[in-house]
Amino acid sequence: AQSVTQLGSHVSVSEGALVLLRCNYSSSVPPYLFWYVQYPNQGLQLLLKYTTGATLVKGINGFEAEFKKSETSFHLTKPSAHMSDAAEYFCAVSDVSGATNKLIFGTGTLLAVQP
């Protein structure tokens, strides 16, 4: 069965510092992987996704993630944090157990950006 682990429920960085949010997955088949962002009192919005092909994926707002099969990881990075990046971030993996297009979500990482 697929699963997702996000290390660190809370991460705090200074404005301008590197953002690194960790995601490890478990999947018996090549997965599709996603990062979603949730701003306060809003729904989830897709940041980026990996399906096939290039393992370094660029998303919106300067974020990127690299699919590393050997490490079963899909960490999210941004070179320089901005105050507007403060939000909760969710990693998700495709559930391939049936033709349902379901996603399995991690428990989320709340990113705080200090001035």
Partner 1 sequence: NAGVTQTPKFRILKIGQSMTLQCAQDMNHNYMYWYRQDPGMGLKLIYYSVGAGITDKGEVPNGYNVSRSTTEDFPLRLELAAPSQTSVYFCASAGGSYEQYFGPGTRLTVT
Which residues of the shown chain bind partner 1 in the complex (CB under 8 A)? 9, 32, 34, 36, 41-46, 49, 51, 90, 94, 99-103, 105-108
What's the closest the beta carbon of residue 28 comes to partner 1, in angstroms? Answer: 16
What's the closest the beta carbon of residue 70 comes to partner 1, in angstroms? Answer: 23
Q: In terms of DSSP bridges, do strands 10-14 and 19-26 run parallel, antiparallel, or are they unpaired?
A: unpaired
Evaluate whether 91 touches 9 at the Cβ level (below 8 Å).
no
Evaluate whether 36 touches 45 at the Cβ level (below 8 Å).
yes
What's the closest the beta carbon of residue 15 comes to partner 1, in angstroms? Answer: 25
CB-nearer residue toward partner 1: 42 or 61:
42
DSSP-derived letter for residue 16 is T
What's the closest the beta carbon of residue 100 comes to partner 1, in angstroms? Answer: 6
CB-nearer residue toward partner 1: 32 or 64:
32
Amino acid (1-letter code) at residue 2: Q
The pair of three-digit structure tokens given for residue 71, joined into one six-digit string: 């490490």
CB-nearer residue toward partner 1: 14 or 26:
26
Q: Which residues pair with 21 in a beta bridge?
A: 76
CB-nearer residue toward partner 1: 17 or 32:
32
Q: In terms of DSSP bridges, do strands 64-68 and 73-78 run parallel, antiparallel, or are they unpaired?
A: antiparallel
